[in-house]
C-alpha cells in the first residue's frame, strides 16, 4: 500500500523536478539557499529536516541522479529472497510535493567554492549559501589488481544498491551445481562493516536451498570483522561446511582477479570461481574529492559538532564520505549525522536554536530466517572527533525468540528510517 502511494507520487516527481529545476537557479534571491548533493540516508534526511523545520525560510535543493533510490541497507535481504526489489526502492515524490524541496535529478560534476555554485552534468550551475555533500562511497582505483568498474558486470561489487544488486542475485541463482561463490572483502574503513558478512549469510541461505553442494569462499584482507563471533556461530549452525574464509594469515591480503577467465589469485594460488563479488577498498564519493574537501585518506574530515568540513566553512559532509571519528559508515549513522547537521545549518542561516550534538547507530544483520543480530553505540562530539560513549552487541547463544524479535525489529527500523528520509 505504502509502496503504491510512493510509486504513484514518484511518477509525479520527475515532472516536479524537471519543472522546478530552472526555477531554483533564478528565483527567491532573498532566502538562504542550501544545496544537498546525494539523496541517500544522509542527503535525503538533511534536506527533509531543513525544509521541515525552517518553515519555508530556507530554499532546499536536492541533487540526486536516480529517480528511484534503492537502499544499500536491506539490499542483502533482497539477495537472500527476504525482500522484493521494489520494497527497497524509494522515490522523492513526498520530499518534492510535501516539503517543497527542489529535487533535481542530475549529476553534480563540480563545485566552485569561491563562486559557491555546483555544476551539473546538464550544464547548469546551482548557487548555494551552504552546501551539504552526502555522496556515499566510490572505489579506490587499483585496490584489487585486475578489477576496475569496466569489469563490474563479470565481477559485480553490488555495493551501491541497484542494477548491480540485481545482477549479483541473478548470477548466484544461475551458478552451476556445486559451484563456487567468491567474495573479495574490503579493507577498513568501508561502508557497512557487517555488510559483506551478512551478504555471505544471505548467499548461503539461497544456495542451501537451490544449490546445496555449492561453496562460498571469502578472501579477506582483515584479520577480524564486525560481529565475527556471531556470524561464525550462525554459519556453523545454519550453513555448516559451506563457507570458508581466507584471512590475511593465509594470503587474503594479497589478491588479484582475472574477470575474463573468472579466476582469483590468492597469494599465488589460482582459484577458478563461478561468481565473484569484488568489494574493493573505498573512499569518499567522487564529488567530495572534486570539491576539494577530502584529504590524503580519501575521506572528508569534518568537525564533530555539526559535520562541517574542516576545509571549507560553507560545506558540510555527511555519512560514508566523512571522516568523523568513531561512527561506522552506515545508513543509520548518516541519518543521525544529518539531523545534527540540519540543526547546525539552520542555526547558521536563520539563528534557530541549537542543542549539543548527539549521535547514535545500530546495525542489524540477518544470518538466516528469523535469526537476526545487532550491534550499536551512542556517540558524542569531543573537540577532536565523534567519540563512542557506550555500545552493545548481540550475544552468541541467544534463544530463537530473541533472534526472531531482533529480525522483526530490523524490519520496523527499515520502515522507520525510510520514513525519516523520504517523508
Answer yes or no whether residue 405 interacts with other proteins by CB under 8 A: yes
> How far apart are the two ends of the chain, measured CA to CA in Å?
15
Part in contact with other proteins (CB under 8 A); list of ranges 111-119, 240-248, 299-307, 353-361: 353-361
Stretch 302-341 residues interacting with other proteins (CB under 8 A)? 332, 335-336, 339
Answer yes or no whether residue 413 interacts with other proteins by CB under 8 A: yes
Helices 163-173 and 195-210: crossing angle in degrees, nearest 10, is 40
**Among 112, 141, 269, 408, contact with other proteins (rule: CB under 8 A):** 408
Q: DSSP character for 232? A: H
Q: Which of 375, 172, 150, 159 is nearest to 260 (CA)?
A: 150
Answer yes or no whether residue 369 interacts with other proteins by CB under 8 A: no
Query: Under 8 Å CB-to-CB from 222, ≥6 apart: which residues?
Result: 185, 187, 188, 247, 248, 252
Q: DSSP character for 191? A: B
Answer yes or no whether residue 66 interacts with other proteins by CB under 8 A: no
Answer yes or no whether residue 343 interacts with other proteins by CB under 8 A: yes
Write down the least CB distance from residue 402 to other proteins, Å. 6
**Among 32, 46, 49, 137, contact with other proteins (rule: CB under 8 A):** 49
* Binding track over 163-202 against other proteins, x by CB under 8 A: ----------------------------------------
All three cell numbers of 326, joined, read: 568513531
318-334 burial: b if 16+ Cβ within 10 Å, else e: bbbbbbbbbbbbbbbbb
Answer yes or no whether residue 1 interacts with other proteins by CB under 8 A: no
Helix residue ranges per DSSP H, 228-330: 228-238, 286-290
**Among 68, 360, 369, 387, contact with other proteins (rule: CB under 8 A):** 360
Write down the least CB distance from residue 365 to other proteins, Å. 14
Query: 218 with 247: CB under 8 angstroms?
Result: no
Task: Name the residues that contact other proteins, by CB under 8 A.
Answer: 49, 332, 335-336, 339, 343, 353, 355, 358, 360, 362, 374, 376-378, 389-392, 401-402, 404-405, 408-413, 415-417, 419-420
Amino acid at each position: 500500500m505504502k509502496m503504491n502511494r510512493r510509486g504513484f507520487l514518484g511518477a509525479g516527481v520527475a515532472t516536479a523536478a524537471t519543472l522546478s529545476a530552472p526555477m531554483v537557479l533564478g528565483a527567491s534571491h532573498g532566502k538562504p539557499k542550501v544545496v544537498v548533493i546525494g539523496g541517500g540516508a544522509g542527503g535525503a534526511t538533511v534536506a527533509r529536516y531543513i525544509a521541515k523545520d525552517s518553515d519555508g525560510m530556507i530554499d532546499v535543493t536536492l541533487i540526486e541522479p536516480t529517480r528511484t533510490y534503492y537502499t544499500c541497507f536491506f539490499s542483502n535481504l533482497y539477495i537472500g529472497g527476504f525482500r522484493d526489489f521494489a520494497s527497497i526502492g524509494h522515490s522523492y515524490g513526498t520530499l518534492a510535493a510535501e516539503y517543497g524541496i527542489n529535487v533535481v535529478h542530475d549529476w553534480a560534476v563540480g563545485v566552485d567554492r569561491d563562486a559557491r555554485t555546483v555544476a551539473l552534468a546538464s550544464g547548469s550551475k546551482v548557487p548555494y549559501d551552504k552546501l551539504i555533500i552526502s555522496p556515499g562511497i566510490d572505489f579506490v582505483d587499483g585496490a584489487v589488481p585486475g578489477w576496475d568498474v569496466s569489469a563490474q558486470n563479470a565481477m559485480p561489487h553490488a555495493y551501491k544498491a541497484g542494477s548491480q544488486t540485481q545482477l549479483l542475485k541473478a548470477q548466484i541463482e544461475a551458478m552451476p551445481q556445486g559451484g563456487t561463490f567468491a567474495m573479495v572483502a574490503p579493507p577498513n574503513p568501508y561502508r557497512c562493516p557487517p555488510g559483506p558478512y551478512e551478504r555471505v549469510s544471505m548467499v548461503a541461505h539461497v544456495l542451501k536451498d537451490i544449490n546445496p553442494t555449492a561453496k562460498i569462499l571469502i578472501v579477506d584482507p582483515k584479520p577480524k570483522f564486525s560481529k565475527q563471533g556471531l556470524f561464525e556461530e550462525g554459519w556453523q549452525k545454519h550453513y555448516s561446511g559451506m563457507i570458508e574464509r581466507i584471512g590475511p594469515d593465509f594470503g587474503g591480503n594479497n589478491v588479484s582477479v582475472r574477470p575474463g577467465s573468472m579466476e582469483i589469485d590468492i597469494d599465488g594460488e589460482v582459484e577458478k570461481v563461478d561468481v565473484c563479488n569484488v568489494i574493493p577498498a573505498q573512499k569518499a564519493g567522487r564529488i567530495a574529492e572534486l570539491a576539494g574537501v577530502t584529504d590524503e585518506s580519501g575521506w572528508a574530515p569534518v568537525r564533530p559538532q555539526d559535520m562541517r568540513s574542516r576545509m571549507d566553512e560553507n560545506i558540510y559532509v555527511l555519512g560514508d564520505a566523512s571522516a568523523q571519528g568513531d561512527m561506522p559508515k552506515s545508513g543509520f549513522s548518516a541519518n543521525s549525522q544529518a539531523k545534527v547537521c540540519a540543526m547546525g545549518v539552520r542555526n547558521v542561516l536563520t539563528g534557530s536554536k541549537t542543542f549539543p550534538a548527539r549521535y547514535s547507530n545500530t546495525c542489524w544483520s540477518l544470518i538466516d530466517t528469523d535469526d537476526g543480530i545487532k550491534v550499536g553505540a551512542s556517540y558524542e562530539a569531543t573537540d577532536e572527533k565523534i567519540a563512542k560513549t557506550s555500545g552493545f552487541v548481540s550475544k552468541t547463544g541467544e534463544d530463537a525468540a530473541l533472534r526472531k524479535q531482533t529480525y522483526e525489529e530490523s524490519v520496523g527500523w527499515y520502515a522507520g528510517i525510510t520514513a525519516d528520509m523520504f517523508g
